[in-house]
Every structure is written in structure tokens, then in C-alpha cells.
Amino acid sequence: MTTEAPRTEPRNDWTREEIAALFDLPFTELVFRAAEVHRANHPANEVQLSTLLSIKTGGCAEDCGYCSQSASANSGVKATKLMDVQAVLQRAAQAADQGSTRFCMGAAWRNPKDRDMPAIIEMVKGVREMGMETCMTLGMLTPQQADMLSEAGLDYYNHNIDTSPERYGEITTTRTMEDRLDTLSNVRMAGINVCSGGIVGMGETREDRVGFIHTLATLPDHPQSVPVNALVPVKGTVLGDMLADTPLAKIDDVEFVRTVAVARITMPHSMVRLSAGRESMSEMTQAMCFMAGANSIFTGDKLLTAPNAGDDTDAAMFARLGIKPMAISETQAQVEASRMPKGCVKLEAAE
């Protein structure tokens, strides 16, 4: 690989060798390149604030090794029913008052049942009426369910690929990577923006992190939002118990920043979000992530069932770093610019 600055136009033909070469760059060179790409495509020193609410917790039929909400985990998380629509909208209004511009709603399901869709649709419509971006993560979707969410005005649908295709079967056995990609295809075909990322620090190798980013960066259209999570080990989950015995498997801060930087370079127009795991990161690690191209965070005290840094802590950090929250007008403009007509799959290749 040459030392020339990377191109800022999206391309979908990245090779694993090219992505591995980015990971292998000297750290400061990699962060510098990522910062160049970021500034060419996004406002500098602005970060989007998002809020995540668990609208249906626990009892999930999937056996994901990282998840405290799996019915097979012994994490102490109790299963609940779907929240009342008005209760969800009240939480959304509180999030808006605290500066969030995107409200994300997550349900611990393998897939939503048709009987749940009317309430889900009302939640989407209600949050949109507040002027916020909407995001849902409900598990796998049929084409018909994706169409229903699109017609309700859903802005984003989150469905993480978690890790590399090669390691996927070690993380969960109740679905395949192809199941994940099929739902992403259904979401794209419905004209909804895709939010898809994964989790690092699950004992994977750098080669797995290369494979994870390669899968996202070679989709027909890059995810408009790419969450990068650091595993929060929970006692009673497969990975939480494993990492308790092998703490060296936890990803170090430099490698985490590298992952953010490579995601930014390979997917230049995407929002790259620091998601789970921020509460255990130092302020300087987060600052390096922002320098490397992260421009979205989850704020608030809780992410589904995991702890989070909190609004006051984030506000103080932003003040020290000279970062300001991204305005809703800017995030909405990106949504409208990236939203594709229903049934359209855009292909962007390198020149």
C-alpha cells in the first residue's frame, strides 16, 4: 500500500489485504488518515447524541454469547413484555430535552411477531412527530415487516453483524451470518437506512476485525451508521465468563482506536458510533476515537441493560474537548441525503 492519503469517495471493492494494511499502519499515520477522511465528509468537532431504550427486555431465544438478554444466559436479567407506547414516547421526549437527536428502540426478540407491529409502528410515528430520528432493533425482519416500518417513516434499522464471518458460529448458533445479511438486504430494499456494526474485544484476532470491517465495507451500500462496541463482559454469559478467566483477550485501547479509524477510512460517509463499553474507556481514549473519525455516541446512564457514561459526564467531556453536539438539522439532512427509494440498491465502486 502506498502512503498517499486515502480517497474519500465510498467504494465497495475493498480487499481484506487492503484493510489489513490499514490496520498495520503506524498508529499516528492511521489516525491522521482517518481524520482527513472524516473532515472531508463530516463537520469537524461535532458529535451526534443518540439515546437507546430497551422497549422489551430479556427472554430472547437467541444464544448470543455476549448478551445478557439471552434466555440461555444466567445473567439475572428478567424478561419483560413490550413497553406501552405512551411510556416509550415519554422517554423519547425526555431524551430530546437532553439533546439527543436520534432515539433508538431495542427489543430482545429473535424477530418481531406480526401482533407486535401495530405498537411498534405507533412508536416510530410518535418519535418522528417530535422531530427526532428514529431507529429500531427488533431482530430479523421479513420483507413485509421492513416495508411496514418504512411506511411508518423509520429512519434507521439496527442489525449488527457482530464479528467476522469466520468467527460468527462461535458467537451464536441460533442464526447465521447469512440470516443477518438477509435482514440488512430487506431493510435496504425497503428504503430504510442501515445501522450495522459489531463488537470487538470478544477474544477475536485482528484478522477477525479485518473480516468484520470487510463485510460491512463491501455491502452493496455502506451502512449509514456503524456502531463499534467494546464488549461489556457480563457474568453469566458465555463470553463474560470466558473473559473473566482470560482477561488478556480484552481489546486494548490502541487497537480499539485502530478499529474506529479503519471503519472511518473504509466507510467515509457513515456515522461511526462509539457504543457499548464507553463507560470503561478513559476520556483520552474517547478523544482519540473522535480524532479517528467517530462522530456519534449513545448518551444516558444505560444502554439496554449495560451501564453507560451518563449525560453529565458526556457534557463535561465535550466541554473539555471543545466538541459540540450535532444539531438535528444536520443529522436529518444526512438521513434525507442517504435514504434510497424503496427497492433501490445502490452500487458505488472505485474509479
Point out the annotated binding site.
60, 64, 67, 104, 135, 195, 273
The active-site residue, picked from 104, 175, 188, 264, is 104
3-state secondary structure 91-134: HHHHHHHCCCCEEEEEECCCCCCHHHHHHHHHHHHHHHHCCCEE
Q: Which of 11, 33, 67, 258 is catalytic?
A: 67
Nearest CA among 6, 83, 25 for reference residue 210: 25
Which grid coordinates are listed for 81? 413484555
Of 33, 60, 102, 188, the catalytic one is 60
Out of 102, 175, 188, 195, pick the active-site residue. Answer: 195
| Known binding residues for [4Fe-4S] cluster | 60, 64, 67
Residues flagged as binding site for [2Fe-2S] cluster: 104, 135, 195, 273
Question: 257 burial class (0-12, 13-18, 19+ CB within 10 angstroms)?
Answer: buried
Residue 289 catalytic? no
Give catalytic status of residue 344 as yes or no. no
CA distance 282 to 40: 27
DSSP state letter for 343: T
Active-site annotation holder among 167, 180, 264, 273: 273
Catalytic residue among 11, 33, 64, 102: 64
Report the DSSP beta bridge partners of residue 297: 49, 274
For residues 62 and 175, the answer to whether their CB atoms sit within 8 Å is yes
Residue 195 among the catalytic residues: yes
C-alpha grid cell, residue 79: 424478561
- Catalytic positions are 60, 64, 67, 104, 135, 195, 273
